[in-house]
Each structure stands twice: as structure tokens, then as C-alpha cells.
Amino acid sequence: MELFRLTAAEATTLFRSRELSPLELLDAVLARTAATEPEVNAVTEQWVDEARAAAAESERRFARGERVRPLEGIPLMLKEEQPVAGRRIEEGSLLEQGTIAHETHPVVERVRAAGAVIHGRTSTPEYSCAPVTHSALWGVTRNPFNRQLSPGGSSGGAGAALAAGSTVLATGSDIGGSIRIPSAFCGVVGFKPPFGRVPGLAPFNSDTYCADGPMGRSVADVARLQNVMAGPWAGDQAALPTYPALSAEPGSLAGLRIALCVDLGGYEVDRAVERNTREVAAALADAGATVNEVSLPWGPELVQRTAWPHFGAIMGPFIEDIAHGDPARTELLMPYTRAFARSAAEAGSYVEGLVAEAAFYRPFGELMADHNALLCPTVATTGFAADADCTDSRDVFSQLMTLPFNVIGRVPVLAVPSGMAPNGLPTGVQLVGRTYDDAAVFRIGAALERELALWTDASWWPEL
């Protein structure tokens, strides 16, 4: 296998045996980035000198038999949305061009302290508010599997970089599907943690829809990165005080009951997506689980009626504040950003929205009384054009089957590939657990990874 295709787990094994050094792996990843970036455009900046210094330090630790940190020597890219003090924080926006961050996101501090070799940052749509990744500031990020199509958004640069082989691990964030959509379209693994699992910065650390989370090319890699990112932090009152470490050891699923819901109550699911979702369900049954097909009384219209008051109370005003009511500044925003802000401004009462969210959760809670997890598609469609304008926010959200699980944001969601669509893009499924039962979705994901053997095979990845 080419070095840039190694998982973090495989790389660590080779580091320990001294068959590979962190510097050698970093060089392979940097060479791959140089080769693929002209086509993919997923990287906003590279930190080569700092990365080489970090890799050299990791190499010394392995050579001396010193304590090895959880991510020792593993190349990792940060989502640009997560600030680093003294570095640019531009959010894909012309309005932020040249802005320097004054604080560092706790996720960045944690992956650095864990020994990760941070070698760059990945692109996002402007203010992370689109399911595609393009902006006037950074241009169009393209899917390595099909360059006419998008890697998804808003963590699209992270998904594309992982699929291209430009990094081994990546960080993302998710407020409506922003980790899971790129995971589906790029054939990688991503995790939307429950609210409070991973600490964040104001104001979105207090937003129950929002979570920073890990992305990688295997379930075990994502579990390892999540273990580093999670846990209490003095700067975030919403961060939970304890965190049970995750394991991704594959085993039998005997005794687990998994609910299968293909359309979540009314989404128009592409045939290829449905076929691949049902193949996942069959694989889970082969791994020992009992899989029951169920229905949920949701559908895209109810989801949006429930969610838009929330966006109208938090993210919409956040965007409006950036423009300061200045028409000239507003004109510099991307069309999809302006469209999102308009839809948010038209939303109903936040209080009524909170009541609706409680009612929305009830059927899921009742379902989970008899099941350990829910299986459903990640996105109803098989892809968006790389430069799709996404100005009809409500139409876009009618295709994203991720948003329901931001509405009920205390549930863990592991996104894994499910197969390929005729257009050459991967499809994906979501494994949704009971409230704060992160361990269950990783247990199921690990068994599925072994059973399907899709993204663990070298033939899965795109040729560039």
C-alpha cells in the first residue's frame, strides 16, 4: 500500500516496529498533497516547517522508547473554521480576509498535545453554511472521486483531503450535517458527537445543534481522534465532565437490535442510496444484529419547520452581525450565505421551536426504547455539482438526512460509507445511537467495517 493511504492505526504499528518513521510518512503525505491539490483544492494553507519539526520530535520519541502520545507522528489537518492564535481565520469569506485569530480552539490544543503532526488546514464554504465547498476567497473544492462533483460541506476540504490521501486524520464540525455529508460523498468515516462531548468556543459551544468532531479513513482512527478531542474544558460550561473512552474493536453484534428507516418519514431517496443502505442492513444482520425495518413520522418538511427557528435564533443573527447591516458588506457574502440568512430570518418563534424539538424527539426516543441504534442514509441524493449555488436553502435541506440528528443533538451519529453510486461517488449511512451512547455506534461501525470490507480495501480509493 502507498504510504499516504495508511490509516493512523497502521502507521502507529509501523512506527513502533521502526519500519516507518513519522518524517517518512509526512513526506509521503506532502508529496501527495502537491500532486493532487491542483485538481482537488482542499487545502487553504500548509505548515510544512512546523510539521517537520513535530514529526522529528515524534521520531525521537519512538527511537528513545519514550512515552508515546495518542496521535504520535500522525499527519492531521484542521478545519479552517477552528481558530489558531496568531494564524489567519478567514472562514472562506472576503469579509474575513487577513483576519488573525486571538485564541486557539481547544480541539487544536488537544490534537497538538496528543502528538499529531498538524501540517495544514482544509477549506470550507463561507461561514460553514452550505453542503458544498466553494467560496470567492478559496475557489471550488472538488471531489477526488469525480471532480465535477462536490465533496460536500461544510467540512468538504477535510473529506476531500482524506479521500485524496493528503492527510491521515482531519478535524471537522457539524451543525446540520457538515461532518457526515462529506463523509458520505468522499467515502470516509466521520463522527458527530453528542452536544457537550467536545468542547468549543462561544457562541456555538452552547448551540445544541453544533459539534466539532473527528474524520478519518477507518472507524478505529475516528475513535482514537474522538478520544483525544473529547472531555471537559475550563473554557466551556457546556462540556460534559466525564468521557468514557471509545473502542473500535470489531466483534459480534449478537443481541443488538438495529432499526432500519430508509426514508425517515418522507425523504425522496435515490435508488442507489437505498440499495446500498439495504446492503448495509444485510451486513449488520450477518454480523449478528437483529435488524427491523421501522418508520418515523418526520420527513423533510417537519424537519425544516422544527429546525429553522433554531437557525433563526443563533446562526442567522450571527451572519447578520457580520454584515453590520451594511449593503456593501452584505454584497460581499456568498449567495448561499445570504440565502441562508434570509431563510433564518423568516423562521418562526424560537420558543415554539423548542417545543417542536421536544415533540420531534419523542418518536425517536420511543423507538430507541426497543433498539440500540438506528440505521438510515446520510444524504438522499448521490451528489451536488462542485459549484452548485445552493441558494434555495429549503430545497437543499430536503436532501440532507443529517439535520434530524442535529435537532436531537444529544445523540451520537457515526457516518460510514455504504457503497458506490453510478456517478462514481460513494454513498453513506448514519448509525445513530441512543442519547450519549457513543460506544454502541462505534461497536456497530467496527463490525460493519469488517463485514463489508469496502473502505479498508486499497481499491476503494480514487485514482488521481
Q: pLDDT, tens digit, for every residue of 360-382?
A: 999 999 999 999 999 999 999 99
Given a cut of 80, is residue 158 above it in pLDDT? yes
Model confidence pLDDT, tens digit, residues 424-461: 999 999 999 999 999 999 999 999 999 999 999 999 99
Q: How many Å apart are CA 172 and CA 167, to the nearest integer?
A: 13
Which of 224, 193, 226 lies closest to 70 in space, CA to CA?
A: 224
Residues paired with 189 in a beta bridge: 216
Tell how far CA 160 is from the center of its chain. 11
Of 166, 173, 178, 218, the active-site residue reads 178
Q: Return the number of other C-beta atoms located less than 10 Å from residue 142's C-beta.
A: 23
Query: Is-catalytic flag, 154?
Result: yes
For residue 295, name the pLDDT band (cuts at 50, 70, 90).
Answer: very high
Q: Using alpha carbons only, what angle is made at residue 459 by residues 284 and 383, rounded to the nearest 5 degrees?
A: 70
| Residue-wise pLDDT tens digits, 380-399 | 999 999 999 999 988 999 99
Q: How many other CB atoms are there within 10 angstroms of residue 57's CB atom?
A: 14
Is residue 17 annotated as part of the catalytic site, yes or no? no
Distances (CA, A) of 311 to 122, 152, 207, 317, 443: 25, 20, 10, 8, 32
Estimate the crossing angle of helix 299-313 against helix 335-345, to 10 degrees: 90
Q: What is the mean pLDDT of the chain?
A: 97
Highest mean pLDDT among 156-165, 321-330, 342-351: 156-165
Q: Which of 58, 123, 150, 154 is catalytic?
A: 154
Local confidence band at 324 (pLDDT 50, 70, 90 cut-offs): confident
Whole-number Å distance between alpha carbons of 271 and 427: 11
CATH of 3-230+252-301+350-460, one of 3.40.1190.20, 3.90.1300.10, 3.20.20.70, 3.40.50.12280: 3.90.1300.10
Domain residue ranges of the chain, discontinuous segments joined by +: 3-230+252-301+350-460
- Of the residues 79, 135, 150, 155, only one is catalytic, namely 79
Q: How far, in Å, CA of 235 to CA of 239, rounded?
A: 9
Helix (H) or strand (E) segment spanning residue 139: strand 139-140
Position 325 scores a pLDDT of: 82
Measured distance CA(250)–CA(252) in Å, rounded: 7
Query: Average pLDDT for residues 152-159, to the nearest whole number?
Result: 98
What does the pLDDT look like over 116-154, one tens digit per residue?
A: 999 999 999 999 999 999 999 999 999 999 999 999 999
> Which grid cell is 109?
490544543
pLDDT for the residue numbered 451: 97
In this model, does residue 408 exceed pLDDT 80? yes
Radius of gyration of the chain measured on its C-alpha atoms: 20
C-alpha cell at 65: 522508547
To the nearest whole percent, how much of the chain has pLDDT over 70?
100
Dig out the grid coordinates for 187 from the structure.
Answer: 467515502
pLDDT at 244: 87
